Structure 1
Amino acid sequence: MLVIIHILLVLTIGRCTDGHIFETMTVNVGDDVTLTCTRQTSWRSTFLFWIRLVSGTFPEVLGGTFAFDYDGVKKTHHITAKQEPGQFVLHISNTQLSDTAVYYCIKVTKMNMTFLKGIFLRIKGQEPDITAVTQDFLSAPVHPGESVNLQCSVLSDPEKKACPGDHSVYWFRAGSNESHPSFIYTHGNSGDQCEQSPEAHSPQKCVYSFSKNVSSSDAGTYYCAVATCGQILFGNGTKLDIEDVSTCDSQRDSTVYLLLCAVLAVSLIVIVFLVYAIRKKSCDFSKATIGQQANAAAASENQQSQQRNENSLVYSTAIFSRRPAGKAGRRKATAKEETIYTDVRAFVKD
């Protein structure tokens, strides 16, 4: 992406000629490369330049010449710029990985600059024989003072080995408060820790272990890095969590406290429910008792009233007396005697 940005910025300076301008070329490390640019002797007051653009740096002028025939040669390290018939060439001998860049041939006439040709040259390094770098995960957090063992497995194919010597293994730690990983350990002779499988065409496995007594400040992600053939391959990383004992105790105390609070809350709810049930039952029982007592009182009252009524009965006795008849009566005495009730006496039973 940065290379493309450089190209766009450079293209805004001048114009390009028609035809194929930009090419891509890929070579291996150590190869010789020759880049060519058209040169016409009829161009008057014209200069030709080869420049190189590397991401993150300013353009670098590798060589320049006149458009007419000129014997001058400019050589810098392993790069040579010179004329050939009808061409202005740039020769790079024994290419290196740092030669990967964008190369431009520029034509400058008075105040006009034209890009004649552009080439993206990619230098391909030797492919490493490493096929995989894996790290084991820790199943549980560790406590300060305990020993932890980190392992890194490196699989390689000996038949594809293109670099001399053994690979080197390093350990890095990326802490939570660190912006960059810090180097912590390197292994010595890697060949002593590798095992070759007896099966044909099977990869070679090398296991590297890193052990230490951890403290609370050792938390972070640990990476295994393998350097081979000018490249560095990183493992997937192992995250190390340090669990402080005091933190565990405080968490345990908090858990117990929460459980006790929950038990107390449930107990209070049960007590309130029981009190409510007992009070409701007592109230129902009291209402029933009062009703029975009221019924009994009403029955007793009725019985007493009936008794009073019976006791207040009036018993009457009729007393008869004969009244003497007068003269008129004596006149009719012969015809019929007349009986008259003269008095009534009543007796009340107390």
Structure 2
Amino acid sequence: ALPIKEFGSITVHWYKQSAGDGLKLIVTLSKSAPPEYSPEFSRKRFNVENANNVCNLTVLKTVQEDEGIYHCGIAEWMYPIQWSETYLSVKGHTQMTSNYTVVQWPPVLDPLHPGESVTLQCSIISVFDKATCSEDLSVFWFRAESNKSHPNIIYTHGNTHDECENRSEAQKRCVYRFSKNVSSSDAGTYYCAVDICGEILFGNGTALKLEYVNHLKVSVIKHYNSDDQLNYAALNFSERKTRGRRKRDITEDSVYSQVKS
């Protein structure tokens, strides 16, 4: 389900994306016409409706082939399409995927400041003689914002990894890393997800929190002794890190106040 604005000039498109495939259109919904389903997706199993400005897609009698990422695109004239994604996991293939383990690191991050860099690591550990799936694994990174219930996909590795090593005679580990410079909108929980045997296995997630430190500097720039004159003070707000290398403070704003004595 995805909340939308008034439905008048909006068209909603639902897509399905299976592991390793592109997007396939399921249905298109608009106010002026009934839902239009693609031939591959029967209205007997997929139902879309708009209720109280929330667009709901219901999958009836789910089967293993229904697993994948479901994308909702809201198109409005002269505006960019707004996207939201939800991963539908269908229980099954546990025997094939039980020989794989997804380990996400670090489990916990210290609070970061905007502008700092962070690297997240996703390791896939497999058992040599029991790993029956292809070695070409696809790894995705998702971010769940604190105010949203569903994570959004933000990056994919395709089938490329940073390094692989044999942990023992029986186990192999491949490592996938995701690095970025943190901005003020990057807070949330980050998950790596691996396509194994057509099923997606998720890491436990890493919470990324942001920290802001404001410093107030007051300096008198002009002073009068007369009762009828005004005193002016410049207030400089700067933000700087509380740890790591020292950097030059960046002045964000200056506010002038008037005090009449």
TM-score computed with the length of structure 2 as normaliser:
0.45
Q: Which has the higher contact order (CA 8 A, sep 6+)?
A: 2
Q: Which is higher, the Rg of structure 1 or of structure 2? A: 1
Higher relative strand content? 2
Higher relative helix content? 1
